[in-house]
Amino acid sequence: MKRVRQCLLSASILCFSTTGNAAFETVHGVKAQAINVPAIVMFLIFVVGTLGITWWASSKTRSMDDFYTAGGGITGFQNGLALAGDYMSAAALLGVTSMIFFNGYDGMIYVVSFFIAWPLLLFLFAERIRNLGRVTISDIASYRLDQNRIRSLTAIGSLTVVCFYLVVQMVGAGQLIELLFGLPYNYAVICVGLLMAVYVTFGGMVATTWVQIIKATFMLFGGTLLAVLALSKFSFSFDALFESAVATHASGASILLPSKHVSDPIAMLSLSFALVFGTAGLPHILMRFFTVRDAREARKSVFVATGLIGFFFLVIVILGLAAIVIVGRNPAFYEAGHLGGKLIGGNNMPVMYLAKALGGDLFLGFLSAVAFATILAVVAGLTMAGTSAISHDLYGTVLKKNRASQADERRVSKIAAVCIGVIAVVLGILFKGQNIAFLVALAFTIAASVNFPILALSMYWKGLTTRGALLGGLAGLASSVALVVLSPAVWVKVLGNAHAIFPYDYPAAISMSIAFCFSWLGSVTDGSPRAIRERASFEEQFVRAQTGLGASGATSH
């Protein structure tokens, strides 16, 4: 406990000292804007509060089960709030409102696709995952297949998803702190990386869960209040809101039609595949089902999360459209006061300026603190998922064959959390300037192409074998990463080439199909004795998946 107190105190001092010097910094050589005192105060209150939660959670984390899954002691309603907190990320608050602000209809496609994933999770995955797993999604995928090879594959897939998704959060955090405090982007990203490492290293899943619950509550409250204030400007008429947005936007009525992000049916289909099926493969979302005591609470978790997330995305649409009118008409939010030019602070900030326009600096400070809380909570969840994949799957099971002591596994988890924090900082700096809602689609593509096919087939298809899962998973991982690199998103915008080799930004429909095809082909051609035993053990797995008999801490319902 003494070491925990020292580390938390050091983190507090760093946050205070970096923000305290912000008034004297410049951003890209330009004098920073006037410091928003309410924003700084609320930001510091949240940082100190979450560090206090971590301090408290460290005393509750006595075993590796506590560290990984909070000992299964989270209720269904609490976990539903935490799930919503995990999912209502910077991509939603900053990125999707930005996409609606600039492109209209395209951003709404993100909203619908994000939401449709949750009924899929509720009816097909939640109960089975809780009954079959204990710590990570590798527990499910390897239930009747080869432990070492399948765990290694799913752990690598999960870590790849975590790294891409971390980019989204780090870019959002860097831009937000840069705008509020004038703190240089790189230093802001480093500060976020340090905080997330502290949360996970010392607080584990208990701290991560409560940070997400608090953040979700404030996010829903702040977003709803802002939406009500925005609608009041249009006499609470959705017709008036849409008409004003069409009249204000430079593209006119075309903002209600698909544009460059979904330029043809294949592009739209592939984007939808990534967002819908990618959600069902996100490791930090799926591992939350292990924090409740049984399948009934897991179902309740998804039910609560679905309602909260659906409501929040309706709010997001209102905010994006209102920003077109209110922010789009105010030259004070544009560089050199030029309407239609670049927004001060970057293209992901329309919702922040909407808050300032409707509620002044006080509301801007509150929403900025909420946005930062959003980023920190999701980053902590992602780091928790990556840490679990390394310490539980790769170290504890594959390397040590389930013979590692809790002390050794805890030590590896701390090292892993720090390493993931360093990687997140580096990637956040390298990907500066990308639209964070767009970057999240890259993470979802890999999740849809690697984790989802293996999970779905392992739970629902008796014929899946280790060889089929390996072929499908590797094919999905290789094709999704390769196509993402060759797409305009990376090949042109990041690497600077003139033309992309692969024409679509979102290759999920292709890479996901490749994964399923190779899984089927590898399984039906496998007649080995191991494959015969794996097929025979499906009945036992099916009974446990349906009833929960034999599941850790579970009861039958």
Q: What does the pLDDT look like over 72-122, one tens digit per residue?
A: 889 999 999 999 988 887 667 877 898 899 888 888 887 888 788 888 888
Contact 51, 12 (CB under 8 A): yes
- Give the pLDDT confidence score for residue 556 in this predicted structure: 37
User: Cα–Cα distance between 362 and 360 in angstroms, integer?
Assistant: 5
- Give the pLDDT confidence score for residue 514 in this predicted structure: 96
Q: Where are the domains of the chain?
A: 2-547
Q: What does the pLDDT look like over 134-181, one tens digit per residue?
A: 888 899 989 999 989 999 999 998 998 888 888 877 877 777 777 666
Per-10-residue mean pLDDT of the chain, 557 residues long, equals 41 34 32 61 81 85 85 90 84 82 84 84 87 88 90 90 82 74 81 84 87 89 94 93 90 79 76 87 89 90 93 93 91 78 79 90 83 80 89 90 85 90 86 64 85 93 95 93 84 81 88 96 94 92 85 48
Q: Which strand (E) or helix (H) includes residue 321?
A: helix 295-326
The DSSP symbol for 337 reads G
- Give the pLDDT confidence score for residue 15 in this predicted structure: 37
What HEC string does 219-250 produce?
HHHHHHHHHHHHHHCCCCCHHHHHHHHHHHCC
- Give the pLDDT confidence score for residue 85 in this predicted structure: 86
- Give the pLDDT confidence score for residue 91 in this predicted structure: 66
Q: What fold characterizes domain 2-547?
A: Sodium/glucose cotransporter (1.20.1730)
Angle made by CA atoms 408, 136, 547, in degrees to the nearest 5: 125
Contacts 24+ apart (CB under 8 A), 144-150: 144/458, 144/534, 144/537, 144/538, 144/540, 144/541, 145/458, 145/464, 145/465, 145/466, 145/469, 145/534, 146/466, 146/530, 147/397, 147/398, 148/397, 148/398, 149/466, 149/470, 150/454, 150/466, 150/469, 150/470
User: Cα–Cα distance between 359 and 112 in angstroms, integer?
Assistant: 28
- Give the pLDDT confidence score for residue 31 in this predicted structure: 38
